[in-house]
Amino acid sequence: MGGLKGSIGRCVNHRPYANSRPVLRHLKPENDSHLCLPLTHSSAFRLSLKLRARGTVMEQPYRQEAGKSPVPPDRMLVEAGDLAELPFTFARPKSVLPLVAVLGIFCFSILGLFIAGSMELDRFARDQSRTLAQTAVAKSLADVAFVTRDYGFWDAAVENLIRRPDSSWADSNVGTYAWEELGMSRTLVLGSDNTPLYTMKDGETSSQEVLFSVGPPLIRLAERARQTSWLNPEARTSFILLNKRVYLVAASVLTPEEPSPAEIGSFKRGVLIFMRVLDDEHLEEISTSYLLENLTLFSSVSEDDFDFLPLEDDLGRAVGYLGWIKPRPGSAFLKHTAPWVAAILLVLAGFAVMALKRAYAQAATVERLNKDLVLRSRQLEDSQVELLEALDKAEQANRAKADFLAVMSHELRTPLNAVIGFSDLIRNQAFGPVGHQKYIEYGNDIFTSGQHLLSLISDILDITRANAGMLSLDCRPVALGSVIEKCLKLITPQAVRHRISIDVTEMNGPLTVLGDEVRLSQMLINLLSNAMKSSAEASRIRVKATVTPKGQIALRVIDRGRGIPKADLAKVTEPFRQAGTYRDGFDPYASEKAGTGLGLAIVKRLAEAHGGTLHIASKVGLGTVVEIRLPGAAQEECHDEGRVAV
């Protein structure tokens, strides 16, 4: 009790009442700023901590006034302003009538929510049915598009439909066969000038005469199909109204499976078009599969009890409407269950009144749980502080690592420069013949190894500076052609040793980049070195430089090397991370050409420091395309002084 006395005041002979708790309804304030309340051991101790934290000292004793009974020893005078911060329990109402009124309002609110929920269920069901209808239409178009693209992207189709037309082959594959086995209503093959070469209508085929009208919608769809890629053409789809019937139409260009580079873009391709009529049988199948009641094809929106989905052609014009009966599950449910729900709510309201009476008896349990919750909250706050401290220590360790790498890189370069310099003197015999030829070879080996080690140290220093935000750029307008020419001179000896040719293509006039010339050269040399490492002997590397529509300069390095697995593309730009090759099971350290894994990481950070981006596309066995996009000279990305810190 000594600690309690020292914290609260003259609290001698403290005698807590049985089951005493801080309750205010039996107390009367002596003035506007003080309240007299009972304190248990635990509540008095919590009050002491609260008042200490606020710098308040309780020294006012309990007292006896004339004509009044003394204040019991376990009731203290407390500042009324302190009550706002303490978890006191207030008086309970003696009557349950207000609670009954509240429960009545609650029941009516539940009924209102029930009605609103039924309406919302109707709206949700309508949205779902529309989504299902859209999915069904998209699935039907996708089915036709899949078959069309599969037949169009086929060497045999190109040969027998365009190059050497064979009507017998056409009947067996895209004519009679398509009618009987694929469910297609019509087939149309167009030549490069959109001349019909072959038609099929409801099983009847002809390569001499056109069996149905080839109108502008089909020609527009064919032209859209011709705009797709040569290497991976996609079918184009649309709805077309022909002879008062709506057709699902898909068009795909007739393209060789592996076109040669000379073929790509050298001629206008023919087009294969499949058409499937949207008839009652097809609508019944969709209605059954997607639970769309009474699915019907309409020419216009008319019925109030139906929801409609427009079927649009390539110009966005509706050629017909799919209609189905509006689903109303909420209204039906409300109609059958509302009386029962009302009765159940009344019964539950009676039980709730009895339950509320019992709830008062459980107030102590709730208070205890509340205390436990506060305790757990404080423990959680303490754990959060510990986690923040651990995070701060980890950041300090990371900075210490970066500082260590930077210092060690500088310290290693000093003696390494001496090794490189003296080995250069030896291999060049600057002070006279060194005697045996082996000394010259050893000097060359020392010089080459030293240069390689110096390059690795420089890479480590660059990545350390970039991570520490200490790398600076001297941004000025730079002629990209001169940078490429300089890098090719540096990299050509290495390329010649491996019989690798490096070509520069698509230099559309002089291109000017806003950047640091030294860092631009470093990025390009790193990309060319990586390309040579992944390329086989006697292969080819291409360098492309173009201007993007946004005025950026796109610099690409393209190789036909080993490629990078898709799973490794995201990590190759991280420091000290490499992707291996398909020959060594993608073990990044199995290859004799493996490096430190800093090249692409440095390129990425330098590109971003220039206000640009780095993009990598690769496929195993086919090669890799690495693109750097940099701001042109007209774009302002640097400070006025021409220097920007990373």
List, as one string, the DSSP characters of 245-271: EEEEEEEEE---SS--TTTTTTSPPPE
CA-CA distance, 612 to 604, in Å (whole number)? 9
Averaged pLDDT, 361-366: 75
Contact by Cβ (8 Å): 480, 486? no
pLDDT value for 196: 92
Residue spans in the chain of domains classed CATH 3.30.450: 145-278+306-320
CA distances (Å), origin 608, targets 54, 165, 405, 594, 604: 51, 54, 22, 25, 6
pLDDT value for 271: 94
CA-CA distance, 133 to 290, in Å (whole number)? 7
Q: For 506, left (φ over 0), alpha (ψ -120 to 50), or beta?
A: left
Query: Going by C-beta distance under 8 Å and a sequence separation of 6 or more, which residues neighbour residue 486?
Result: 521
The token pair that represents 116 in the structure block: 């609103």
CA-CA distance, 87 to 46, in Å (whole number)? 10
- Provide the CATH number for the domain formed by 471-645 in this structure: 3.30.565.10
Reported as a pLDDT band with limits 50, 70 and 90, residue 99 is: low
Edge-to-edge strand order for the sheet containing 236-242? 204-206, 196-201, 186-190, 271-277, 245-253, 236-242
Residue 552 reports pLDDT greater than 60: yes
pLDDT digits (tens, 9 = 90+) for 124-179: 888 888 899 899 999 999 999 999 999 988 989 988 998 888 889 999 999 999 99
Reported as a pLDDT band with limits 50, 70 and 90, residue 235 is: very high
The one-letter amino acid at 475? C
pLDDT digits (tens, 9 = 90+) for 212-227: 888 899 999 999 999 8
pLDDT value for 142: 93
Nearest Cα neighbor of 74 from 163, 165, 8, 150 is 8
Give me the torsion for CA of 282, 286, 288, 292, rounded to 10°.
Answer: -130
Which of 272-276, 506-510, 639-643 has the least mean pLDDT? 639-643
| pLDDT, mean over the chain | 76
Element (H, E) at 359: helix 329-361
pLDDT value for 411: 76
For 465-487, letters b (16+ CB in 10 Å) and e give: bbbeeebebebeebebeebbeeb
Domain 382-465 matching CATH 1.10.150.20: the answer reads: no
Residue spans in the chain of domains classed CATH 3.30.565.10: 471-645
For 555-572, letters b (16+ CB in 10 Å) and e give: bbbbbbbbbbbeebeeeb
Residue 509 reports pLDDT greater than 80: no
Query: 145-278+306-320: which CATH topology?
Result: Beta-Lactamase (3.30.450)
Reported as a pLDDT band with limits 50, 70 and 90, residue 469 is: low
CA-CA distance, 558 to 623, in Å (whole number)? 7
Under DSSP, the state recorded for 329 is: H
CA-CA distance, 153 to 158, in Å (whole number)? 8
